[in-house]
Amino acid sequence: MQSIIDKIQSGKRLTLEEGVALYDMDIFTLGELASAKRQALHGKKAFFNINRHINPTNVCVDICKFCAYSATRKNPNPYTMSHEEVMAIVDDVVARGITEVHIVSAHNREAGLAWYLDMFKAIKTKYPTLHIKALTAAEIHFLSTTYGMSYDEVLDTMIANGVDSMPGGGAEIFDEKVRNVICKGKVNSDQWIEIHRLWHKKGRESNATMLFGHIEGRRERIDHMIRLRTLQEETGGFNAFIPLVYQMENNYLNVPHAITGQEVLKTMAISRLVLDNIAHLKAYWVTSTINLALVAQEFGADDLDGTIEKESIQSAAGAKSANGIDISAMVGLIKNAGFIPVERDSLYNELRTW
């Protein structure tokens, strides 16, 4: 293990086998290594933004076993918002100073491509400075196959209608054996990577995610990270990596035991050490709880996401995130944890420091 520690401290890149081996390291030693890397990059800053999640439809053609949000699985209440309903939300949040809308939903054939594009155009026309983060690679793949369009064509229409950056959803775990169990039929790993590659080549930025704590193993997690690291080496377009903790309720995976807090923190720390070329590591408080996300700031993470206000996807599976978190509470929690609260925009430009 000392040889791996020496390699980390000398700034050398870790292999898959070394990444897996890190899970056997004492958690405090691992935390110290990740924290040193975090502080070299960001000092004691803990980033967040003032954002609103909008999930416009839960009607989905896919049948991912981990999903509790889709109305075709265990959610008995299908809905699809009108543009007027979406704009009413946007009007409200803009009036209160929110800088980003994060729009992710299901794969709804009845809603259609024009429904998405007209929504984005209406938002951007009325609020040209509001950042629109929208459409996962899974949604883009769905639209591409449904309408016989290339990925490039879908991405170009998104940009033309006001989308600024892409979220990282749909990645789940890249290992195809795992994907065949948890999300068979959805965008595959190579397609997900290709969509983000194309987006980056258009000069745009995106996030990258990893869903963990279900049926995957540690090796699959490290493999996932290394594939992202390889694409980042090529494009430089990822601004953050977001390990998403699997939520256990109201789905069909039937995972018997929740992942432990120690395993979450080890995965955060290892993410910081393996992903040496992605600047930010987000402890997404929605899936990890705000308390564990704050502890994760000592294990390599430097971001907590944002205020969110309304969240439907993770809360459908048991996360305590339906109503977001107040900005004053966010600032207070970060300060009490010993970090410096920094409000950022969607691309990590610093807007305000407390």
**Contact partners, residue 65, CB within 8 Å, separation at least 6:** 181, 182, 183, 251, 252, 253
pLDDT value of residue 270: 98
Q: Position of tokens 């290892």?
A: 270
Tracing tokens 């883009």 back to the chain, one arrives at 140
DSSP E strands, the chain: 45-49, 51-54, 100-103, 131-134, 206-212, 238-245, 280-281, 303-306, 340-344, 350-353
Dump pLDDT digits (tens) for 258-303. 899 999 999 999 999 999 999 999 999 888 889 999 999 999 999 9
What is this structure's pTM? 0.93
pLDDT of residue 325: 85
- Decide if pLDDT at 75 tops 70: no
b/e for 58-95, b at 16 or more Cβ within 10 A?
Answer: bbbebebebbbbbbbbebeeeebbeeeebbebbeebbe
Q: Please, what is the average pLDDT of the chain? A: 91
> 21-30, 47-56, 247-256 — which is least confidently predicted?
247-256
First to last CA, the chain: 39
Report phi then psi at 110, rounded to 5: -70, -30
- Report the alpha-carbon distance of residue 90 to residue 83 in Å, rounded: 10
Least confident of 77-81, 164-168, 209-213: 77-81
- pLDDT band at residue 311 using 50, 70 and 90 as cut-offs: very low
CATH class of 2-346: alpha beta
Instruction: Identify the sign of the CA torsion 137, 142, 145, 148.
Output: negative
Domains of the chain, residue spans: 2-346
